Amino acid sequence: MNQNLAFADYAVFIIYFIVVSVYGYTVYRKRKQDEQDAKAYFLAEGNLTWWAIGASLIASNISAEQFIGMSGEGFFLGIAVAAYEWLAAVALIIVAVWFIPVYLKNKIYTMPQFLKTRYNESTALIMAVFWLFLYVFVNLTSILYLGAVAINGLAGGQYLHVIMVGLAVFALFISLGGMKVVAYTDVIQVAVLIIGGLVTSYIALTTVGQYFGVGENAIEGFKVLMREAPEHFKMIIPKPTATSSQLEIDKYLTFPGLMSYLAGIWIINLNYWGCNQYITQRALGADLQTARTGILFAGMLKLLMPLIVMLPGIAAYVLYQNGHLPQLVGGKDGAYSAVLTFLPTGLKGLSVAALTAAIVASLAGKVNSISTIYTLDIHKKYIQKEAGEKQQVNIGRIAVFAAMLLAVLFTWNDVLGIGGVGGFTYIQKYTGFISPGVFAMFFLGMFWKRTTGTAAIVGVLLGFLLSVLFNEYAPALFGNDTLLYTAYPNGKGGFEIPFHICMGLSFFFTMLAMIGISFAGPKVNPKAFEIDSEMFKVKPQTTVLIVITLLIIVALYVKFW
């Protein structure tokens, strides 16, 4: 398989690099006074437009683990994996209407600040340290490693460390300029990401059409996919029976049909989009209407993402099953790279630029969040309380550099073993266990005035312990078939409960425990937020965006149910 890039491919990539760099530097020069204002540097307070917020949300969200991992799941599961993207659009509506007003009314700039304001300083400090470790040693490292591996494979397989350093330096260059530079360069990044991704999907469909004798026609190629792999165009994975194959069971363990919609997928999305510094930071410096419009714009862009990151995986499956993709290596995670080999010279460079844009935008956004949490929630409060505005900006830049250096050091020889389990699995494994407790803590903290600080700490710890219990030990301790769950053979000699169901059970019992503990406290916690119905009213143009998004999602589910 010849994956080497030609001169035209390098030329396209270099043009992309120059455009992003020049634009980023221009934005930085125009807003250099942000160096005297910490909140402007970390949050771009009052400076981001709705389209910059929306584009930055998507650019920060989509990275190598989506391009590689979700294409792989498209190869394995089919369109069912699109639920992550389409229901994310619904989650973004919920965040825009109900979560963001609470943050903005109470002048919340970081997630640890939310916890301190609503609960207590101990809870805020514990979670600030936790988020820093999670962002550096799970998210940042896995994005950098998986991205470097993917691009290295396309470049010939001999430049892993050079590409790794290049990605880190590119992201560093952008992130040192602060949130405004990150957000506005994300506009270019997401444009490249979408255009390059759509080109890849188009080439994949026309290649399918060519191999199956219907011509180089994308629409006809899509019809071939639906004809050759009808099971890949069903949103609901059927529950296994006694006669199900291990492959059918594995699919259900990955995405357990209707139970996913009743349990884990909502926790994943609402926790990610509503309680995550990495994401919410883009909207926390804006006014309410701008923040809402930007978030809803991101929701509409999410509807496109399966076409970009999932459809090539289904195309790869159909080609592979019919003997037209011998270059596929590495199982499902090799699907996207295999499809890229069909791209002509120049367009392959555009696709590499799209992949690079996704990786660099995610890296820059992540280190900016790390810098913000460290500077505002740890350094300013516990190390250098008298730090002025310019000092905070400089501390933030040092934190950016330190975080990126640690990421490079830990991915250089894959110290953390990311390659062994895969970047997508690595992230899900270490973030999924904590999500039920964190989301319960934020949800009750926002909308139930009785929730106490003790309940919050118990919730985080209990959510983690219950996640470990249900994921690792419940079948052996309580049996494989109970009132709460059914565990299925995992093909490795053991039994597993589907991950989404584990999350749902952990969240449910964590909520019960937090509610029970809070009933022992006052009817209204003195630190509860003031909430009134006016906060949640939306303007007519906002309602129109919400209705359009929901109608599109309903139509997609009616078509592919």
What pTM value is reported for the model? Answer: 0.88
415: three-class secondary structure by DSSP: coil
Q: How confident is the model over 306-332, as pLDDT tens digits? A: 999 899 999 999 999 998 888 776 677
Mean pLDDT, all residues of the chain: 87
pLDDT above 70 coverage of the chain, percent:
94
Look up tokens 């009616």; give the residue. Answer: 558
Q: How confident is the model over 496-521, as pLDDT tens digits? A: 999 899 999 999 999 999 999 999 99
CATH for the stretch 7-432+531-560:
1.20.1730.10
- 4-18, 175-189, 395-409: which is most confident: 395-409
Listed by start position, the domains of the chain span: 7-432+531-560
Look up tokens 């499956």; give the residue. Answer: 317
Find the DSSP H helices in 176-263. 179-211, 218-228, 246-254, 257-262
**Quick check: 542 pLDDT over 70?**
yes
Instruction: Give residue 229's pLDDT.
Output: 93
Q: Can you tell me the distance from the alpha carbon of 18 to that of 269, in angstroms, rounded to the nearest whole number?
A: 34
How would residue 1 be classed by pLDDT, with cut points 50, 70 and 90? very low
Q: Can you tell me the distance from the alpha carbon of 45 to that of 16, in angstroms, rounded to the nearest whole number?
A: 28
Q: How confident is the model over 169-216, as pLDDT tens digits? A: 988 888 877 777 777 888 888 888 888 889 999 999 999 999 998 888
Q: How confident is the model over 442-465, as pLDDT tens digits? A: 999 999 999 999 999 999 999 999
**Quick check: 476 pLDDT over 70?**
yes
Query: Are the C-beta atoms of 275 and 168 separated by less than 8 Å?
Result: no
